[in-house]
Amino acid sequence: MAKIFYDKDIRLEVLKEKKIAVIGYGSQGRHQALNIRDSGFDVIIGQREGKSAEEARKDGFEVISASDAAKKGDLIILTVPDELHESVYKEMMNNITEGKTLGVCHGFSILYGLIKPPEDIDVVMIAPKAPGPTVRSTYIGGSGVPSAVAVYQDYTGEALQKALAWGSAIGSGRVGIIETTFTEEVETDLFGEITVLCGGVAELIKAGFNTLVDAGYQPEIAYFECCNELKLIVDLIYSGGLENMWYSVSNTAEYGGRVYGKAIIDDSVKENMKDMLDFIRSGRYGRDMILEQRTDMNQLKRYRELEKDELIEVVGKKLRDMMKI
């Protein structure tokens, strides 16, 4: 059974007299920094000059370079995208000295060696299970989003408590912080994104839409049936699990889904998923992703261009504009 921590389990005093440097002021950085400051901690921002730096100053933060922020900070939280971790860390590394704590929101760069931290610091992770704006909006509403916590390196003996204090400061201690490892977080996160949440769902939607259109049905009707209504189903699952969804839909939908859904997502799909998990666990996907990052994401850019004008995108935009959905 996984271990879950709540605010009552967490010692905030391990960070109370510390300076917290949030590196990057994008989606996660901005909203985590605001929550941490509102929780009573001393926060500075490490951010290159530009629009994000201006926004941080408007929000009332001291903004300095990543290197200077690492020098001043006791807990240095790296919130920039994965592909920037290596270069940003190199800017800071000489200022991340003995006893400090390096925090990441995703373990990819640590697990795959893009960042090689010295042995005399703590290395921890808090991975919020929601986009940055949701981290902020739930906090303001008196709740929070669940997070995963992991310790990669415990030099001081207090690495876990520091990570938990960070998690509590962004609001996750209100709802639960689940303990994991860097390896488990990275591999399950990549697997979920590829096979279900992003890749799997997107391909399933497109396959259903294109099957109906190819059979002569109106693209607009196909869009509603295979894409637009998905949010209604996901909301039901999110609020009460799969059984809540089955309870809430019609008997016709439940019968068709329960009985014949397995004819679509069959054992061959599960075998493909197992192959993808093996691909991830072997490190081959990580190496593939690192190569993509170092070639300016050229393959990803090519796929963006190929898919941005697909019929489902054209029809969806037209319907959303016409019907304000």
Tens-place pLDDT, residues 17-50: 999 999 999 999 999 999 999 999 999 999 999 9
Whether 174 shows a pLDDT value over 70: the answer reads yes
Alpha-carbon distance of 127 to 89, in angstroms, equals: 18
Whether 176 shows a pLDDT value over 70: the answer reads yes
The structural architecture, per CATH, of the domain 4-180 is 3-Layer(aba) Sandwich (3.40)
Mode of pairing for the β-strands spanning 101-104 and 177-179: unpaired
Whether 156 shows a pLDDT value over 90: the answer reads yes
Amino acid at 216: G
Amino acid at 38: D
Q: Name the pLDDT band for 227 (thresholds 50, 70, 90).
A: very high
Can you read off the two tokens belonging to residue 122? 């703590």
**Mean pLDDT of the 177-194 span:** 97
**Mean pLDDT of the 62-73 span:** 98
Residue 109 counted as an annotated binding residue: no
Residue 48 counted as an annotated binding residue: yes
**Mean pLDDT of the 52-73 span:** 98
Q: pTM score > 0.75 for this model? A: yes
Q: Name the pLDDT band for 132 (thresholds 50, 70, 90).
A: very high
CB within 8 A of 43, min separation 6: which ones? 19, 20, 21, 22, 33, 36, 37, 61
Nearest Cα to Cα of residue 172 among 291, 36, 43: 36
Cα 244–chain centre separation: 25
Please calculate the CA angle 8-11-16 and round it to the nearest 5 degrees: 130
The three-state (H, E, C) secondary structure of 50-98, written as one string: CHHHHHHHHCCCCEECHHHHHHHCCEEEECCCHHHHHHHHHHHHHHCCC
Tens-place pLDDT, residues 100-116: 999 999 999 999 999 99
Alpha-carbon distance of 5 to 148, in angstroms, equals: 10
Whether 325 shows a pLDDT value over 70: the answer reads no
Ranges of each domain in the chain:
4-180, 198-322
Q: Do the Cβ atoms of 35 and 9 come closer than 8 Å?
A: no
Q: Do the Cβ atoms of 222 and 209 come closer than 8 Å?
A: yes
What is the structure's pLDDT at 1? 81
What is the structure's pLDDT at 210? 98
CB atoms within 10 A of CB 97: 12
Residue 250 counted as an annotated binding residue: yes
Mean pLDDT of the chain: 96
Residue 32 counted as an annotated binding residue: no
Residue 229 counted as an annotated binding residue: yes
Q: Name the pLDDT band for 166 (thresholds 50, 70, 90).
A: very high
Whether 74 shows a pLDDT value over 70: the answer reads yes
**Mean pLDDT of the 162-174 span:** 98
To the nearest 10°, report the CA torsion of 125, 129, 133, 139.
-80
**Mean pLDDT of the 275-288 span:** 97
Residue 46 counted as an annotated binding residue: no
Residue 52 counted as an annotated binding residue: yes
Mode of pairing for the β-strands spanning 19-23 and 42-46: parallel
Amino acid at 311: L
Residue 26 counted as an annotated binding residue: yes
**Mean pLDDT of the 144-162 span:** 98
CB within 8 A of 9, min separation 6: which ones? 164, 173
Cα 295–chain centre separation: 23
Residue 28 counted as an annotated binding residue: yes
Alpha-carbon distance of 76 to 97, in angstroms, equals: 11
Can you read off the two tokens belonging to residue 157? 């003996």
Whether 323 shows a pLDDT value over 90: the answer reads no
**Mean pLDDT of the 304-310 span:** 94
Alpha-carbon distance of 23 to 92, in angstroms, equals: 10
- Catalytic center residues: 106
Q: Do the Cβ atoms of 111 and 286 come closer than 8 Å?
A: yes
Residue 286 counted as an annotated binding residue: no
Alpha-carbon distance of 170 to 43, in angstroms, equals: 12
What is the structure's pLDDT at 179? 98
Alpha-carbon distance of 52 to 197, in angstroms, equals: 29
Residue 225 counted as an annotated binding residue: yes
What is the structure's pLDDT at 272? 97
Residues composing the chain: 325
What is the structure's pLDDT at 200? 97
Q: Name the pLDDT band for 81 (thresholds 50, 70, 90).
A: very high
